Amino acid sequence: MKKVLTAIIVLIVLVAIGFGVWYVVAGQNTLAEKEETRPTVATVKPQTADIVNYTSLVGTVEPATTVTVIPKMAGEMTEVSFAVGEEVKEGQTLVRLHSDALSSLQIQVDAAKISMDDAASTLAKMEALYAAGGVSQQTIDQLQSAATATRLQYEAAKTQLDLQEEYTDIVSPIDGVVESRSAEVHGMASPGVPVAVISARGETLVTFGVTERVLGNLGVGMEIDLTKEQTLYRGVIREVGNMVNPMTGLFQVKAAVVGKVVGQGAANSSEVVDIEYGTLATGTKIKVTAVVEQVQGALTVPLDAVLYSDGQPFVYVLEQDPSDSSAVASVRKVDIVQGIHDSSVTQVVSGLGKTDEVVVTWSNELTDGAGVIWRGNRDSAGGGAN
């Protein structure tokens, strides 16, 4: 009987001991589970960086100097001695005209010469009679006036004929390359109607339009990138318009093509080689990459660290006593003023300092004042943990 009682007592003691062990372990596990419900976060400190955003535009290639050749008289084009793409010299005859007006002007010149000669002959005879007292001074004065008038009429007619004869040869006003031609043999030329467009060899320009927002970031001398058929060219802005084009609603900008970029890189590449004139055909389109907005030395945080509440941007900042590694970490909600951003970072105009630890891991359990488990600064090897 005593043995049975002893066995029962031992069994009760063992059960009590087991229950005590279970209670202690379960309590610790419950505490651990409670601690592990805190979200785990990583942080970064705000960094100083430049943010530059670009926009792609379409430009038109054109020569720096272009001259439109226009006839000064009407007539039939009997000779056309130039072609598109051909180089021409200043003063070279491009088109020769025939005009019936020349025949009419020649008749007027001949008639004016006859009248002038007759008036001069009559004056000479009357002056001889005047010397002999045969005519009055008044008669001589009248004859001199008539001679002068006929001479001026002749000179005017002759000048007009010479000009018209000069206009029958349409010449190139500059050295250059023929960009377009609208003249054909036996075609009719008219004053004001171009027969050719000639561009001077030299700089190649790209003209493009920009909005007021983009205009504020462009200036004379600024480099831009130009791309055509996967070839990168370097351009330098020569002109920035300050008046809106009423047709497009944009400001006109002109950039000179300074060469082709060799190797990789854009905007900051220094390896640029010259290109031959005509490499970029006049009138063709080219992609223009220009700065749309930029800020230098901005205080930045990762773009995905910024959250929004009713349109107000904010971030969570770590709160922990650095001198007490056992202190419980928490986060504080901080409203910020946001500036421009690119694909990875955003500018913080105000609200943060360089020493703040900004949370970059998201959790739906993050709230203002919430406790967290800090796994350290994402950009450093060390960092606190709790």
Query: Is the backbone of residue 376 left (phi > 0), alpha (psi -120 to 50) or beta?
Result: left
Tokens representing residue 165 in the block: 């004869």
| Secondary structure (DSSP) of 84-139 | TT-EE-TT-EEEEEE-HHHHHHHHHHHHHHHHHHHHHHHHHHHHHHHHTT-S-HHH
Tokens in use for 174?
């500059």
Nearest to 205 by CA among 59, 55, 68, 69: 59
Residues 372, 373, 376, CA angle at the centre, nearest 5°?
Answer: 120
Q: Which residue has the tokens 């003691």?
A: 13
- Residue 162 CA to residue 105 CA, distance in Å, equals 10
What's the confidence (pLDDT) of residue 199? 87
Distance CA 375, CA 359 (A): 11
Supply φ then ψ for residue 343, to 5 degrees: -75, -10
* CATH match for 70-197 among 3.30.430.20, 3.40.50.300, 2.40.160.20, 2.40.50.100: 2.40.50.100
C-alpha span between 332 and 330 (Å, rounded): 7
Q: Which residues contact 357 (CB under 8 A, 6 or more apart)?
A: 43, 44, 45, 317, 318, 377
Residue 255: its pLDDT value, please?
94
Cα→Cα distances 242→216, 222, 289, 340, Å? 10, 16, 20, 25
The pair of structure tokens assigned to 30 is 């419950």
pTM > 0.85: yes or no: no
What the block records as the tokens of 96 is 């020769």
Q: Report how far Cα 275 is from the mean position of its chain's Cα atoms.
A: 20
SS3 of 217, please?
A: coil
- Spatial neighbors of 29 by CB under 8 A, at least 6 apart, are none
Describe the chain by its helix, strand, coil percentages, rounded to 5: 25, 40, 35
H-helix segments, the chain? 2-36, 100-131, 137-167, 212-215
Q: What is 38-51+298-377's CATH topology?
A: 2.40.420
Three-state SS for 14?
helix
Q: E-strand spans in 175-250? A: 176-181, 188-189, 196-199, 204-210, 223-228, 231-244
The residue ranges of every structural domain in the chain are 38-51+298-377, 54-64+202-296, 70-197
**Residue 121 pLDDT:** 85
**Third-level CATH fold of 54-64+202-296:** Elongation Factor Tu (Ef-tu); domain 3 (2.40.30)
Phi, psi of 138 (to 5 degrees): -60, -40
Per-residue confidence (pLDDT) for residue 325, from 0 to 100: 56
pLDDT, position 163: 76
Spatial separation of the C-alpha atoms in residues 181 and 197, rounded to whole Å: 7
pLDDT value at position 324? 59
Report which residue type is found at 300. Answer: T
The amino acid at residue 139 is T
Say how far apart CA 45 and CA 276 lie, in whole Å. 51
Name the CA dihedral angle for 137, 139, 145, 147, rounded to a multiple of 10 degrees.
-120
Give pLDDT tens digits along the chain (386 positions): 556 556 666 566 566 666 665 555 555 555 444 555 788 888 999 999 999 888 899 999 998 888 999 998 888 899 999 999 898 999 999 999 887 777 777 788 788 888 888 888 888 888 887 777 777 888 878 888 888 888 888 888 888 777 777 788 899 999 888 988 998 999 998 898 999 999 888 789 999 999 988 888 888 999 899 999 989 999 999 999 989 989 989 999 999 999 888 875 544 546 888 888 778 888 899 999 988 888 999 999 999 999 999 999 999 999 876 555 556 788 999 999 999 999 899 999 999 999 999 999 888 888 898 888 888 776 643 344 44
Number of Cβ atoms within 10 Å of the Cβ of 97: 22
How many CB atoms neighbour CB 160 within 10 A?
14
